[in-house]
Amino acid sequence: MAAAASPYIEKTDEQRAITEMVRQFADEQILPNAEHFDHEDLFPEPIVEQMKELGLFGVTIPEEYGGMGLDLTTYAMIVEELSRGWISISGVINTHFIGSYLLMKFGTEEQKQRYLPRMATGEIRAAFSLSEPELGSDVQAIKTSAKKVDGEAYEINGQKMWVTNGLRSSLVFVLVKTDPDAQPRHRGFTCFIAEKEAGVSENTGPYAGLNVPEKIKKLGYKGVESTELVFDGYRCPAQNILGGEQAGLNKGFSQMMDALEVGRVNVAARGVGIAQRALELALRYSQERKTFGKPIAEHQAIQFKLADMATQVDAARLLTLRAARMKDAGERSDLEAGMAKLFASEAGRFCVEESLRIHGGYGYSKEYEIERLYRDAPLLLIGEGTSEIQRMVVGRKLLQRHKI
Ligand SMILES: Cc1cc2nc3c(=O)[nH]c(=O)nc-3n(C[C@H](O)[C@H](O)[C@H](O)COP(=O)(O)OP(=O)(O)OC[C@H]3O[C@@H](n4cnc5c(N)ncnc54)[C@H](O)[C@@H]3O)c2cc1C
């Protein structure tokens, strides 16, 4: 990998080349089409097909399994650019990225060989499922359970909620309870790699017992589907326990928490992307729109808004890249990932709202892009742990690191 050309740019040559390529893709393919797919709540199939051709489903998957073998930092830069275009596009690869991370870190060699090459091309896509109708933040309250029913398979029963890519995925990394008596509770969960048929609501044959109800109707984050998953006597071979039965049984909680750490960097990058786009729209509109005989950008109150937005964008980006670089360097970054996720998702919300205000009445019209951003941004405050949960993570880690 080439060294950074300038300490101010803070990107290697490779990172610069790939982010420029993705930015161009966002400008030419995502931004001109996002309003259409958003308004119709349609899955952006043509954009996703092009993402496959660009290799974007295999960014972090090692070259030996057919991916690009790039690090989390480069991935975060790519996610920022995609999210600048439309956060639903980054949603299509987000859970897939988490699934590939889980496989790379905890999977057996056989599991890696079986899934990673097809995941790298986007031929199969992955979903990630913790939440249930009665829980999201409190993961240890999971009720969906698995029991060994014969020598080789576990039967999974229960209902999952809010599964992004729930319908079109072929693999679901699903956390279920396997030891109801475990103390502490987190020692009783296992991550299964549940296979299913992509795009099918009622699975049959080897995947019978896994059904996908109608997609959930949402405020924003359209295009990419969020669904429930109903496990009703679904049989999952023991060999599909992440890491294998011997090493993976009842180890799912810590595996998933590890994955959430990189997931938080990923959501932080999405916050940076949407905040950046809101700033760009505000910069343009404020120089076009005139009130009291001059462009509104010449009113100090508007300049202050632009200044606050730009400061938030830069700070969010720096926090995000720091967390990603620490993880790439093999350092613990749970606190930093929590800070980045908290700050960048709130920066996304802040910048989008300020940009909407700058757009005045037009910001409330579906004719203007900022209206979509205003509906999309709140998701980032919720997914991968709410802001309250991030504060809990950061506070707890701070006290651990500074124990007296
Ligand atoms: C569009 C979308 C896509 C999603 N995709 C996925 C996915 O792919 N996979 C998946 O597993 N999940 C997914 N989720 C679920 C998401 O992770 C949860 O919604 C989130 O973790 C919050 O859980 P909850 O909705 O159950 O809220 P709750 O946990 O019920 O929280 C409700 C409120 O209480 C607050 N709260 C909770 N506990 C505390 C506490 N101890 N102290 C202070 N405040 C607290 C929360 O911050 C929140 O404000 C998705 C959600 C959405 C909206």
What confidence tens digit (pLDDT) does each residue in 52-92 have?
999 999 999 999 999 999 999 999 999 999 999 999 999 99
CA 266 to ligand 1 center in whole angstroms: 17
For the chain, domain boundaries: 13-121, 126-250, 255-401
- DSSP element (H, E) containing 164: strand 153-164
- CATH number assigned to the domain covering 126-250: 2.40.110.10
* pLDDT digit string, tens, across residues 238-265: 999 999 999 999 999 999 999 999 999 9
d(CA 61, CA 49): 18
Rounded to the nearest 10 degrees, the angle between the axes of helix 87-106 and helix 31-40 is: 90
Is 126-250 in the same CATH topology as 13-121? no
Q: What is the mean pLDDT of the chain?
A: 96
* pLDDT range class, residue 150, cuts 50, 70, 90: confident
Name the class of domain 13-121.
mainly alpha
Cβ–ligand 1 distance for 120 under 6 Å, the answer no
255-401 homologous superfamily: Butyryl-CoA Dehydrogenase, subunit A, domain 3 (1.20.140.10)
Which residue minimizes the CA distance to atom 18 of ligand 1? 136
Q: What's the pTM value of the predicted model, to 2 decimals?
A: 0.96
Atom from ligand 1 closest to the CA of residue 389: 47
384 an active-site residue?
A: yes
The residue to which tokens 């709140």 are assigned? 378
* Residue 78 C-alpha from the chain's centroid: 12
State how far Cα 109 lies from the chain centre. 25
- Ligand 1 neighbourhood includes 97 CB (under 6 angstroms): no
Which residue, among 274, 270, 269, 264, has the nearest Cα to 384 in the 3D structure?
Answer: 264
Which residue do the tokens 């279920």 mark?
Answer: 176
